[in-house]
Chain A
Amino acid sequence: MNKPLRRVAIAALTLLVILMINVNYIQGSQADKLKSDPLNARQFTAQWQHNRGPITAGGVTLASSKKINKKEYQRVYKQGELYSPITGFMSPFNRTGIEGGYNGLLDGTDKRLTVRNWFDMLVGKKAAGATVQTSIIPKAQQAAYDGIRQATISGRRGAAVAVDVKTGAILAMASFPSYDTNDLATHDSAKASKASTRLQEQKGNPMLNKAMNEVFPPGSSFKIVDSATALESGGMTANSPFDANEFHLPESGQTLHNADGDEQRCSGSPQLIQSFAASCNSTFARLAGTLGQDKLLAQAKKFGFDKPFQVEPGMSSASANYPTKPMGGDKLAMSGIGQGDVTVTPLQMAMVAQAVANNGKEMKPYLVKRVTAPDQSELATAQEQVLGQPISANTASQLQEMMRQVVQSGTASSVVGGQDIAGKTGTAETGNGYYDDWFVGFAPQHNPKVAFAVVTEGSEQSSGAQNSAPTALRIVQAVL
């Protein structure tokens, strides 16, 4: 019986070896994944015991940790309302923004930190957290937030994004209404839960980052995308004449009105650049029909529509939408003026402007510039990354000229005329008692350095130029 006994012995020991392999797999390679599993409540109770590193912006500390007793730290946010879209928060049950995406580095449990201090790890000493430096410029952030707050009517929303044209670094990202992140960072879960419920019930959804996680109709600012399509695949140039006469929707026969006072400029066959500067709805609704849905969709997708931008780990934007299902003639015409089923995030529009300003090269947007260990050594640094080339350099330079024209002689000239800024206005009707007012562009007019998108929800008398262009100007002045 010894032969079968030996085999059974080998079988029995094999079972134990399988267990050992499995345990190695779980604790050796899956441990980090299990630790940060959203269902895992442990990460949230132990989180207060870490001396988390700060989140900074241009030398200003946005989030820091303060020791409150022998074991625990309190997270403190500076101007929580202003910086909430950047820092996010840590509460007893969740973490958002950079607090979430960079949790391992901030609390010191990331391998990049623990491996350096392997001896500390061996004796059970907790590694101090890393410093996360964002690309935000505090003055620009303040300008953005103040601007959208003042321009937005009661109960409505606003957002602004500014990015570095050459690198894609986000320089300002503001959302209104906002909230004080400190309210959620309490260690008392009942209090945090109450604060969270209160904020969720508030008008304008304060906890939602409107700059990248909410979509708005782009209105006339979408005409940048129309024009890009016309220049790229419609065989046109900025100087091509195009029918600007009164336009009737092909199916319903309804007249599509231009803005008051533009009847004269939007008639005949002006050059495309003229219609763009005057923002003739008749031209661009007609142009959309001529170009067709396929070409517009293809161009929109090249800019990044219909998929999210991954800004940082755990921080992805909502998708801007250009309809993929075949549309009727009316809907197609409406899409040309950024209405109907077209919706965008402010970040998406800022990226369109960035690509135009960067000679057609679209950069990946990012928020974290550098991560440094407590000993000041560098753990990670932002890598500039080209997302694609949605338009040629030639198209880009024509679009730049068209957007300069808007400021010099077009819809924005009465507000920011004479300023070193370029852009496209947009005033989207919502039918709900407010307008979505846009100003999307770049500055300076030549050799642009900053691209932006500003949206504010103003009254039905407001316009993109009046309501959002001044904020855009304040942002770029703070940056430059």
Chain B
Amino acid sequence: MSVITTNEAGIPVATRPRRSAQLGMLIFAMIITVAGFAQVGLARDGSLPAGMYGYGIGLGILAAGSYIVVARFAPYADPLLLPLAVFLNGIGLAMIYRLDLNTSADMKAAIEAGKKVSYFGPSTNAQLEWTALGIIFFAVTLLVLRDIKVVQRYIYTIGALGLFFLALPGFLPSSISGAMGAKIWIRIGSMSIQPGEFSKLALVAFFAGYLVNKRQAMSTVGKEFGPIKLPRARDLGPILVIWVICLGVLALENDFGTAILFFGLFVSMLYIATERFEWVGIGAVLLAGACLVAPMIPHVSQRIDTWLDPRPYFDGGCKINGVIHNQMAQGCAAHGGQYIADSGQLMRGLFSMGQGGVLGTGLGQGEPWRTPLSYSDFIFTSFGEELGLTGLMVILLAYALIVQRGMKAAIATKDNFAKLFAGGVSFVFALQVFVIVGGVTRLIPLTGLTTPFLAQGGSSLLANWILIAILIRISDSARRPAPQPIQDEGMTQVVNTA
């Protein structure tokens, strides 16, 4: 029997575990991470940093644990997914470590000077703790979720929880939920959670479960409007209601990045489920409509203005007599102008990338800390500076591989719910990378989303590790050989007709 077989859709499916390939790539991912730590130390102090061993060993133990769980409980899983996630998480950690050292030095100086320090910045320890928690979530998901179909039974509960957590920060006082113009956090003590990250997964699960049940009805029964056939209200209704609630909540919370994600998610999943291209057309029309309306929302129009031409808004754009001057908010008010927005972060991010050029300054040798939030929203440009174009292409390729592997699992699996689920999460993952990376590289207006696995932030890390666990589970079931039918050729009777 051949090792490579194809499923009924004609997709080649590996039917043997690829444990050694996975382990090899995992070790490679770890080598890159530890080399990253080493380079930071060598560049800064000329010696291997003490942190390298601690953080390296910590991440190594976590990676080994995750490998054992995958090898034991999802042996047929795609061998690339786990190493890719560890690689991205690892270099993200190395970059945060690099930025953390820098601010630590500043902080020490400030404390010595007797200044009061309120610290909210890159923290390697916190990120490593979150990584540990993320990998534990990953393992638990794989252990508990032996068959993805289990999720299908609870889709309404999951959908309701997703919606609840999405809406929660909007109802909490700003002191708990607000920061940087958006209300999307829940802060308890020193911990802050972005529940939207989990809602995203929950809603993909809900949409997948709902659409699997209704897809036949939705694609066949309905009223025709010219060339477009719309499903019955009772089929489309619930999903539309939830979707509108989601977008409404996100608008209230000023979280337009997530709104774009949900919109793309909704359109792509409807299209996959119904196999009707009209949905993409309707989505495009709605998107065009949103593009016309969005500039009327102040928070959005600022982002668009600073995207189109950021220079006048550098370090604050102040409109005085119809002309925009570079002026901070305070000075602007003093001159009787109208303060609009600040493009300093966006432009510093671009300067950071420009500094990096093709080969980068080398880890620890650039000045990525000049960009505000260089360790979270703008970590991509930090990589651009220190690893250059070369490094960014590697990172984007790693993302592309995760998406491709997820989509491959979706196509390979036989179960329709798993198909939709894997397709949905893979697409939303790609869209999220597009929105945040496109935002910081001024391809599209900037909206705050986390850069998966790289950016500092607990919720995002946990949610993305769960996402990888789900893809691994689905790819494992897709590639697992079907139980062999009993074949006993020796017993076959040959009827002699002679």
Interfacial residues, chain A to chain B (CB-CB below 8 A): 1-9, 11-13, 15-20, 22-24, 26-28, 30-35, 37, 39-42, 45-46, 121-122, 124
Contacts and interface: CB of A to CB of B under 8 A. Distances in A.
A42 B370 contact: yes
A22 to B, nearest CB: 5
A3 B275 contact: yes
7 closest A-B pairs by CB: A34-B354, A12-B430, A9-B407, A27-B389, A15-B434, A16-B400, A31-B357
8 contacts: A8-B271, A16-B396, A19-B443, A20-B397, A23-B393, A26-B354, A27-B357, A27-B384
Given A19-B433, A26-B354, A40-B354, 18 more contacts: A1-B273, A1-B416, A2-B419, A5-B423, A6-B407, A8-B423, A11-B427, A12-B430, A15-B431, A24-B393, A27-B358, A27-B392, A32-B354, A35-B354, A37-B347, A40-B347, A42-B370, A121-B359
B441 interface: yes
Interface of B: 9, 11, 268, 271-273, 275, 311, 314, 347, 350-351, 353-359, 362, 365, 367, 370, 384, 388-389, 392-393, 396-397, 399-400, 403-404, 407-408, 410-411, 416, 419-420, 423, 426-427, 430-431, 433-434, 437-438, 441, 443
A16 B429 CA distance: 11
A90 B495 CA distance: 101
Q: Counting chain B CB atoms within 10 Å of each CB, which of A5, A6, A11, A28 scores highest?
A: A5
B351 A42 contact: yes
Nearest to A39: B314
A9 B404 contact: yes
Contacts of B354: 26-27, 30-35, 37, 40
Nearest to A26: B353
Nearest to A27: B389
Nearest to A45: B367
Contact of B311 (A18, A19, A23, A39): A39
Given A9-B407, A12-B427, A42-B367, A19 B437 contact: yes
Contact of A23 (B9, B347, B370, B389): B389
Contact of B272 (A1, A27, A33, A35): A1
Contact of B392 (A23, A33, A40): A23
A19 B403 contact: no
Nearest to B429: A12
Given A2-B9, A16-B434, A34 B353 contact: yes
Nearest to B279: A4
B275 A9 contact: no
Nearest to A33: B354
B358 A13 contact: no
B342 to A, nearest CB: 12
Nearest to A16: B400
A260 B141 CA distance: 104
B271 A6 contact: no
A438 to B, nearest CB: 39
A11 B351 CA distance: 30
A31 B381 CA distance: 13
B150 to A, nearest CB: 21
A350 B268 CA distance: 70
Contacts of A37: 347, 351, 354
A20 B393 contact: yes
Contacts of A13: 400, 403-404, 430
B353 A12 contact: no
Contact of B403 (A3, A4, A12, A30): A12
B358 A28 contact: yes
B75 to A, nearest CB: 25
Contacts of A35: 351, 354-355
Contacts of B431: 12, 15
B416 A15 contact: no
Contacts of B430: 12-13, 15-16
Contacts of A121: 359
A18 B389 contact: no
Contacts of B400: 13, 16-17
B109 to A, nearest CB: 17
Contacts of B427: 8, 11-12
Contacts of A4: 271-272, 275
Contacts of A22: 438, 441, 443
A469 to B, nearest CB: 47
B388 A27 contact: yes
Nearest to A22: B443
Contact of B384 (A9, A23, A32, A122): A23
B411 A5 contact: yes
A126 to B, nearest CB: 11
A18 B443 contact: yes
Q: Counting chain A CB atoms within 10 Å of each CB, which of B408, B426, B430 scores highest?
A: B430
Contacts of A30: 354
Nearest to B389: A27
Given A1-B275, A2-B411, A39 B347 contact: yes
Nearest to B356: A27
A149 B206 CA distance: 84
A36 to B, nearest CB: 9
Contacts of B311: 39
A20 B437 CA distance: 10
A16 B423 CA distance: 16
Contacts of B416: 1
A301 B384 CA distance: 48
Contacts of B408: 9
Nearest to A34: B354
Contacts of B423: 1, 5, 8-9
A33 B347 CA distance: 13
A16 B403 contact: yes
Nearest to B276: A4
Contacts of A39: 311, 314, 347, 351
A8 B425 CA distance: 12
B420 A1 contact: yes
Contacts of A31: 353-358
A319 B311 CA distance: 27
B71 to A, nearest CB: 27
A42 B355 contact: yes
A121 B392 CA distance: 19
B388 A41 contact: no
Contacts of A33: 354
Q: Counting chain B CB atoms within 10 Å of each CB, which of A6, A9, A37, A121 scores highest?
A: A9
Nearest to B430: A12
A11 B430 CA distance: 9
B272 A8 contact: yes
Contact of B434 (A1, A7, A19, A45): A19
A16 B399 contact: yes
Contacts of B353: 23, 26-27, 31, 34
Nearest to A23: B392
Contacts of A122: 359
B69 to A, nearest CB: 27
Contacts of B420: 1
A30 B351 CA distance: 10
Given A3-B275, A5-B423, A28 B407 contact: no
Nearest to A41: B370
